[in-house]
Chains A and B, each alone.
Chain A
Amino acid sequence: MSSERVAGWSETELGVEGRVLPVVCAPQGVLSARGADVDPTSAESVQLAADLVATMRVSPGCVGLAANQVGVGVRMFCVDVTEHPKTRTQHGTFVLCNAEVVESSRNEKAREGCMSVPDFTGDVKRASRLTVRGQLPGTGETVEFSTDAFEARALQHEIDHTDGFLFLDRVAGAHAIYPRQTYL
């Protein structure tokens, strides 16, 4: 069962040490270009998967990170919504390569932010029921699983990154963008 396989996956399977990489911000072009499909079994992919998880782990509040956010234009991202209060179904930490949405339904609007767009948040409508398909790094096995609520939102946000879209490209309207508050 793919869902259990994804939930049971962890970065220790990769067998390499992840490195913390600098996160790039808009308007860097790599964020607005669709990433290249990637071979999930290659040594480069395995290292990148470990790097994404390591970078996510050290970034406060980060629940997902796509490869183009660290300047690499390939279709790979990691997600971990375990600690988030809006999470219902969750699959722990995982990395997906060449992921795509198979099915989506029940749109809900919520406010999103992004490490690559540090100055804004925005209201984005996304499906709260989602089925995705992708490949695990290392083994390259194809997994397909369903999720909901916050993990569904995080997955759509990350898949958008791999397609070259930011949440800014999905905001609900002219008054759905908010400067992020900074208190000195």
Chain B
Amino acid sequence: MSTDLYAVTVLGHDRPGIIAATTAGLAQLGLNIEDSTMTLLRGHFAMMLLCRGGADAAAIEQALAPLAANGDLDVAVRPVTDEPTPAAGGSAWVLTVHGGDRSGIVSAVVAEVAAAGGNITDLTTRLAGELYLLVAELDLPADADSAALEGAIRSAAERVGVTATLRPAEADEL
């Protein structure tokens, strides 16, 4: 059996049954769903899943074509390669930024993370009324100066009129 890996993305108007229809199409082809994520972004359905199996991309697109038939959902399939597991040794952090909405908040803050060699591993941003909120999880290299990064992030946040906190991601080993 092939071990080809495909990324399937489904974006568009939300309604009940999208996940059921998508996964039924994949199951028909004998594809195995590995990592996936789905959320609503301002009410829009947004899902990406990685699936593995013997079908080719054209067959997957054909199996999922009925989903897009109404024209209100975009479905895309593309082959991806397996990614190496990142090396351990750094540290995990959680960053929260919140304040009055304006353009440039995300770019101002994440530029500091990138400059410190930090890698964002998960990101959520939300806008509710006037309140803009960003929560990110990030990995810092072992030699990173987290205090200096926190200072740089706070300064960047201040320049765009928001507040930021950076704290270690805590995991309780049981």
A is bound by B: yes
Give chain A's interface residues, CB within 8 Å of chain B: 25-27, 32, 107, 117, 119-120, 125, 164-166, 168-177, 179
Q: Is the interface of B mostly helix, strand, loop or mixed?
A: strand
Cβ–Cβ contact B165 & A165, under 8 A: yes
Task: Give me 9 A-to-B residue pairs in the complex whose CB atoms sit less than 8 angstroms apart, sorted by A's number.
Answer: A26-B98, A117-B131, A168-B96, A168-B98, A169-B163, A171-B94, A174-B124, A177-B124, A177-B133
Q: Total interface residues on B, using CB and 8 Å?
A: 26
**Total contacts A to B, CB within 8 angstroms?**
67
Cβ–Cβ contact B163 & A119, under 8 A: no
Which B residues lie within 8 Å of A166 (CB)? 98
User: Nearest A residue to B124 by beta-carbon distance?
Assistant: A174
7 closest A-B pairs by beta carbon, nearest first, are A119-B128, A174-B122, A27-B100, A169-B165, A174-B124, A32-B163, A27-B99
Which A residues lie within 8 Å of B94 (CB)? 171-174
How far in angstroms is the closest Cβ of chain B from A71? 16
How far in angstroms is the closest Cβ of chain A from B102? 10
Docked CA distance A172–B94 (Å): 7
Cβ–Cβ contact A173 & B135, under 8 A: yes
Which A residues lie within 8 Å of B122 (CB)? 173-175
Cβ–Cβ contact B165 & A174, under 8 A: no
**Given A32-B163, A120-B126, A177-B124, residue A169 in contact with residue B131 (CB < 8 A):** no
Which A residues lie within 8 Å of B99 (CB)? 26-27, 32
Cβ–Cβ contact A174 & B123, under 8 A: yes
Cβ–Cβ contact A173 & B126, under 8 A: no
